[in-house]
Structure 1
Amino acid sequence: MAFAADGDGPTNTMLDMGLNALWILIAGILVLFMQGGFILLETGSTRMKNAGHVAGKTIFTVGLVSLVYWAVGYGFTFGGDAGDGLNKVLGLGNFFFNPAIVGSDGDSYPTTIFFIFQLAFAAVSLSIAWGGFAERAKLSAYLIFTLIFGSVIYPVIAHWIWGGGWLAEDGAQDYAGSTVVHLTGAMAAFAATILLKPRIGKFNKDGSANEILGHNQVFTSLAVLILWVGWFGFNAGSAVSVGDGFFGYVAFTTQLGAAGGAVAALLISWLVKGKADIGVTLNGALAGLVAITASCAFVDPWAAVVIGLVAGVLVFLCQMFFEKIRVDDPIAAMSVHGAAGVWGTLANGFFATKALVEQVGVGQAGLFYGGGGHQLWVQFLSVVVCGGFAFAASFVVLWIVKKVIGLRVTEEQEIIGLDLSEHGNYGYPEALKKTNVTSM
C-alpha cells in the first residue's frame, strides 16, 4: 500500500510478468524432472547389467544438450526476424544466447525463464530417442548424436511449428509437442533401431521373438507416475501465462487423456492375452499423455477421453506390429511416442472446437466442428514432413557415425553389459560381488 501511495510500486504488467515467470519456471522444473522418469523407465525396462549406464548417460546427455541448445539450438528455433523469408525455414539469431538479466515492463515473461522451459523440452525429445539405442549403443554414439540432435534436428522442427516457421503460418496445431517433441524423438529412435539392429537373442532364425524382460517393474511404474506428474508442466506450462487460468483447463484435459490411455491399454491387453499386462498398461498411460499433448488446449473433455482411449489401444497394437517386423524397441518408443504422437496431432483435425481455437489463436476448427478438412490436412502435413525430416536426418547422422567409428558395442561387451564394458563399474555392485563369490 505504501508503494501504491508513492507511485513507486510495481505496475500491474510487472506483477503479471512475475506470476507468469513463476509458473513457467515451476513448469520447466517439472519437465526437467521428467528425466528422472526416463532414467527409471529405461532402467526398469532393460536388464540389470545396463542400469548404471542408463542413469549415467542420461545425466551426461542432458548436460551436453543444455550446452549445444544454448550455443545454437535456441537460435535455430527462435532466432531471426519474423518478416524474413528465410525465417520460414530456419531461425537465425540469438546464438550463444545472452538474455537480459531481468524482464522489462510490458514483457509477458523474462526470456531467461522461457529458455529454461524450452531447453527442458529439447532434453525430453532427446531422451525419447535413446529408446532406440538401449542396451547396445556405444557411449561415443550418444555423445555425437546429442550434438547434432540438440543443435539442428530438434530445433529445425521446433522452429517450423513453434518458432514462426512455415507450418506455424499454415496454422499447425501442436500445443505442447506431440509432433515437435514426441514424434521427433521417436523417429530418431526408429532410425537407431534400424542401424543398430536387434539385441542379441531378441529374435530367432525363424523370425519369432523372445521376450527380454526388464529387471524392475516397480521402477517402470514409478517412472510413469513421475512422467505423468511432469506432464502437467509439459502441457499446462505451455500456456506460458497465468492470465485467466486457462492452463487449468489444459491440465484437466491432460488428466483425462492419460486416464483414457491407461484404462484402454489394460482392457485391450486383458481381452487379447487373457491377462492384464502391467507393462502395456503403463505404456497406455504414457500413450494417452503423448496423444493429448497436441490437443489438450483445443478439445472438449469428452474428446480428450476418446483421444486417450484410442491411444491406449493403438500402443498395444503397434507394439505387436513392430515386434512382428523384427524391430527391437526396448522401451516401446515408436509405439508410445511415435504412433500416439501421430494420432494426437491428427486428432486436432477432427476434434478442435471453434471456441478453443479462438482462445489459443492457432489454426481452425476440426472436421467435427464445422471446420471442414483444412485443419486435418495441415495436421497430416506436419506429421509427414516433421516425422520424415527427423527420421532422414537422424538416419544420415547415425549412418555416418556407424561407418566412421561404429555405433554398436561388440558382442562380448553387449553380453557383459554396458555398465562394465563402457564404464568399468556396475550399477548394482553388491550383486556383482555376490556373483564373483559364487563363481569362486
Structure 2
Amino acid sequence: MNEVKYALDTFYFLVSGALVMWMAAGFAMLEAGLVRSKNTTEILTKNIALFAIACTMFLLFGYSIMYSSAAGGWLPNFGALLGSEHSVDAVNAGNADHALYSDFFFQVVFVATAMSIVSGAVAERMKLNAFLIFCVLLTGFIYPVEGYWKWGGGFLHELGFQDFAGSAIVHMAGAAAALAGIILLGARKGKYDAKGSAKGIPGANLPMATLGTFILWLGWFGFNGGSQLLISDVENANAVSRIFVNTNASAAGGVIAVFLYTRIVYKKADLTLILNGALAGLVAITAEPLTPTPLVATIIGAAGGVIASLSVTMLDKLQLDDPVGAISVHGAAGIFGVLVVPLTNHGESVSFITQLLGLVVIFSWVFASSFAVWYLLKKLMGIRVSDEEEYVGLDKVDCGLEAYPEFARISSTNGN
C-alpha cells in the first residue's frame, strides 16, 4: 500500500507540474495577443527561450540554492555550489526529503512562471539579449534565495509566514523584477502625451489573449492543487478538491467584479481588464486556496481583480508602462492575497505583521537585486532598442521573421 500511495502521489505531482508547464503557453498567448503585431514573433521567442533557460539554470544552481542549506537562516548554503553538489542527483543524495525528481519538476515550472511575468511587462522595447541574460540571473540565483526563505526552510518559514502556492514568492517576486526593469527601461514611444496622460495602444489579437487567459486558468489548478503535494488519502484528496473549487471561484469573482467595474467606470466592458481580472483573482487566492469557503474565495478574487484594475490606472499616472498589466495582476493582487491569509486561517497562528514582513523582505530583495542587474546591463550593453528599431518592430530587429507577413504586405499595399 505504501508503494501504491507513493506512486499515486508522484503521478499527481507530475501531472500538476505538467499543468503548470502548460501555463507557459498561456503566458505566450496572452502576451502575444496584447502586444502589437510587429512584436509578436519576438515575444513568442522570449517566452520559449526563458522557459528553457529557467529549466536549465534551476537544474544547475537554483534547486541547490533553494533546498540544500541549513534551515532557519537568511542565506542558503552557497558553499554547495563550490563543490559538486549543484545537480539534482547530488542534492538527492544529501537531502532526500526535497530532492525527488517529481519535486524538482514541480519547482522548476514555478520559477519559469515568475520569469514569464517579467516578459510581458518589458515588452515592445527591450533588447532580447539583455532580457535573456537577466533571465539567467533571476532564475538561477535571485528567485532561489527568496524561495529558500519560505519553501527551503529559511527564516520566513521559521517566523510562520504563509504563502501556500506563491502569491508573493512567485507572483509578487516576478512583478518586483519587472517593476525594476520598466523603471530603467522607460515607456514605449507614444504611450504618454506631453501632459503625461496615457494613450491606449491596443493589442493585435484579443482572441489569442483570451485563449491565453483560459490556458492560464486551467494551469492554475496544477499550480494551486499540486501545492497540496499529496492526494493519496481522504484528507488530502478532499483538500485538493476544495483547492480546485476555491481557485475556480476566485477567478470567476475576478471576472465578474472587473466586468462590473469597467461598465461603471468606463461605460464599456473592457476585455483586456476583464482578462486581467481573472488572472488577478487567481493570483490573490494562491496565497491560501484551502481555508476560505468558496464564497469567501469568490470575494477574494473579486477584490483582487478590482485592486489590479486600480493599480493599472495608478501605474499609468506614474508613467510606468506595462503593456500587459503584469505588475498590477501579479504584484498588487499578490500583495493583497498574502495580506488576507490571516482572515481565513482561524485555526492557525498566522500574523498580519509576519505576512507584511514577508512581503517587504521578498519585494525588497527581488526589486533591489533585479534593479542592480538591470542597471549593470544598461551600462554594459544597453537594455532598450533604438527609436527606429522600436518603430519598425522587434520581430524584424531581433528575429527577422514577422508573425503576420500577409497582413503586413496588405497594410503596406493599402498605404497603412
- Same fold judged by TM-score > 0.5? yes
Asked if 1 retains the 8 angstrom alpha-carbon contact of 2:88 and 2:101, the reply is: no
- Is it true that 1:44 corresponds to 2:30 in the alignment? no
**Structure 1 Cα separation of the partners of residues 355 and 414 of structure 2:** 58
Which residue is equivalent to 1:192? 181
Structure 1 residues 392 and 308 mapped into 2: Cα distance closer, same or farther (>3 Å)? same
Q: Please state how far the C-alpha of 1:197 moved relative to its aligned partner.
A: 0.2
Structure 1 residues 172 and 109 mapped into 2: Cα distance closer, same or farther (>3 Å)? closer
Structure 1 unmatched ranges of 5 or more: 1-11, 358-363, 366-374
Asked if 2 retains the 8 angstrom alpha-carbon contact of 1:17 and 1:108, the reply is: no
Structure 1 residues 229 and 392 mapped into 2: Cα distance closer, same or farther (>3 Å)? same
**Structure 1 Cα separation of the partners of residues 211 and 135 of structure 2:** 26
- Is it true that 1:352 corresponds to 2:345 in the alignment? yes
Choose between structure 1 and 2 for higher RCO, CA contacts under 8 A separated by at least 6 residues.
2
Which residue is equivalent to 1:4? none
Q: Please state how far the C-alpha of 1:70 moved relative to its aligned partner.
A: 0.4
Which residue is equivalent to 1:35? 24
- Is it true that 1:216 corresponds to 2:205 in the alignment? yes
Asked if 2 retains the 8 angstrom alpha-carbon contact of 1:89 and 1:166, the reply is: no
Structure 2 unmatched ranges of 5 or more: none
Q: Please state how far the C-alpha of 1:398 moved relative to its aligned partner.
A: 0.2
**Structure 2 Cα separation of the partners of residues 255 and 238 of structure 1:** 15
Q: What is the TM-score normalised by the length of structure 1?
A: 0.88
- Is it true that 1:376 corresponds to 2:352 in the alignment? yes
Q: Deviations over 1:146-184 (max 9, x none)?
A: 111011111111111111010001111100000000000
Q: Deviations over 1:292-333 (max 9, x none)?
A: 000102323332122111112111111111111111010101
**Structure 1 Cα separation of the partners of residues 120 and 218 of structure 2:** 21
One-letter amino acid matched to 1:132? A
Q: Deviations over 1:39-58 (max 9, x none)?
A: 11111111000111111121
Asked if 1 retains the 8 angstrom alpha-carbon contact of 2:64 and 2:91, the reply is: no
One-letter amino acid matched to 1:382? G
Q: Secondary structure of the equivalent of 2:120? A: helix
Query: Which of 57, 74, 95 is matched with 2:86 structurally?
Result: 95
Residue-pair matches, total: 405
Identity %: 38
**Structure 1 Cα separation of the partners of residues 120 and 346 of structure 2:** 35
Q: Please state how far the C-alpha of 1:240 moved relative to its aligned partner.
A: 1.0
Moved beyond 6 Å, runs of 4+:
99-102, 107-110
Q: Secondary structure of the equivalent of 1:188? A: helix
Asked if 1 retains the 8 angstrom alpha-carbon contact of 2:68 and 2:91, the reply is: no
Asked if 1 retains the 8 angstrom alpha-carbon contact of 2:168 and 2:287, the reply is: yes
Asked if 2 retains the 8 angstrom alpha-carbon contact of 1:265 and 1:315, the reply is: no
One-letter amino acid matched to 2:378? K
For the pair shown, which has the larger CA radius of gyration, 1 or 2? 1
Q: What is the TM-score normalised by the length of structure 2?
A: 0.93
Which residue is equivalent to 1:370? none
Which residue is equivalent to 1:233? 222
- Is it true that 1:390 corresponds to 2:366 in the alignment? yes
Q: Please state how far the C-alpha of 1:109 moved relative to its aligned partner.
A: 9.1
Which residue is equivalent to 1:420? 396
**Structure 2 Cα separation of the partners of residues 73 and 14 of structure 1:** 30
Q: Secondary structure of the equivalent of 2:88? A: coil
Structure 1 residues 63 and 254 mapped into 2: Cα distance closer, same or farther (>3 Å)? same
Which residue is equivalent to 2:61? 72
Task: Please list, as runs of the form range in 1=range in 2, the aligned pairs for 1:29-428 lying within 5 A after superposition.
Answer: 29-82=18-71, 87-92=73-78, 93=80, 94-98=85-89, 111-242=100-231, 243-244=233-234, 245=237, 246-354=239-347, 357=348, 364-365=349-350, 375-428=351-404
